[in-house]
Homo-oligomer: A and B are copies of this chain.
Amino acid sequence: MAPRKKSQAGQGSEPAIQLKGVHRALHVLEYIAIHPGRAIDIAEGLGLSWATMHRTLQQLEQGGFLKRDLDTNRYSIGPRMWFIGATYVANHRVLEAAKTYLEEARRLPGVTVQLVERSRYEAVALYSTHSDEEITKATYGYHFPLHVGSKGQVLLAYAEPNFVDSYLSGDLEQLTPYSLTDPKEIRELLAKIRSQGYAVTLADVQLFTGSMAAPVFDRGNKIVACVCFVAKKSAIENPKRREEILETMLKTAQSISIALGWRPGQGKFI
């Protein structure tokens, strides 16, 4: 962050990464979180030498941070990571404030109610609840890219401009034929989302569902999460249902923002 006072290499170039081993291990964990699989594929995916990879995996598995299927030799995240990671939501002030409102919104039949946060380049659900039968796999634990789905788009719409730039310049995966992948179109959509204050998408994540989402702000007018309602595609296509869901969703999001100290009215546009 601060410019190096004495630069060995003259040019103030690289921030000189420290604790390489640790970083590698954590990258391996994160990579496996996204792409569980065999040792080789992971080594390849991360461009690591086999020996190094093997050592790392071995140690992480021994510690219970990774789990390994003995038949297929496929690695996935282990229980100890859940143990650690779960404490993040346990002490989460936004989630704490949100819970009662989310539970209230659960009364809506056929809707999954979620509180979603951005973690780097993905939207991750902190909480998920629904009235009757489950209609989607989108409970907590699943994560989605930011350019598809109303949750991702809302989080992106209110993110810092240079983050948006860097995100849109990366690979934009197409999950269904209805997923937007053109950066220009996405930017237009984000502007629209900002101006109307919410996002709605249909079938761009899973073919049979749609969703709508609205931002949650804190007292500093900064986005800290979003509320997302997921329902069957047909429900959202039905104007009456759609109106009903939208209204509850907006009210829920706003209630949470207010509980966090945000006050309506003051500059929605930064």
Contacts and interface: CB of A to CB of B under 8 A. Distances in A.
Given A18-B59, A36-B87, A76-B88, 7 more contacts: A18-B55, A19-B59, A79-B119, A81-B88, A82-B85, A83-B85, A86-B141
26 contacts: A25-B26, A26-B63, A30-B83, A30-B84, A36-B87, A64-B119, A67-B88, A76-B87, A76-B88, A77-B87, A77-B88, A77-B91, A79-B117, A79-B124, A80-B119, A81-B84, A81-B85, A82-B85, A82-B88, A82-B89, A82-B126, A83-B120, A86-B86, A86-B142, A87-B141, A90-B139
A22 to B, nearest CB: 4
A258 interface: no
Given A56-B22, A86-B143, A76 B91 contact: yes
A122 B63 CA distance: 15
Instruction: Name, among A18, A55, A76, A79, the residue most crowded by chain B CB atoms within 10 Å (CB to CB).
Output: A79
A171 B189 CA distance: 57
Contacts of A139: 90
Nearest to A86: B141
A172 interface: no
A65 interface: yes
A142 B87 CA distance: 7
Copies of this chain, how many? 2
B77 A85 contact: yes
Contact of A86 (B25, B60, B85, B90): B85
Interface of A: 18-19, 21-23, 25-26, 29-30, 33-34, 36, 55-56, 59-60, 63-65, 67, 76-91, 99, 103, 117, 119-120, 122, 124, 126, 129, 133-134, 139-143
Q: What 6 A-B pairs come out closest when comparing CB atoms? A: A85-B85, A90-B141, A82-B88, A86-B141, A81-B85, A22-B25
Nearest to A129: B129
A241 to B, nearest CB: 23
Instruction: Name, among A99, A119, A126, the residue most crowded by chain B CB atoms within 10 Å (CB to CB).
Output: A119
Contacts of A59: 18-19, 22-23
Nearest to A36: B91
A36 to B, nearest CB: 7
Contacts of A124: 79, 82-83, 86
Nearest to A58: B18
Nearest to A132: B103
Instruction: Name, among A19, A63, A99, A129, the residue most crowded by chain B CB atoms within 10 Å (CB to CB).
Output: A19
A123 to B, nearest CB: 10
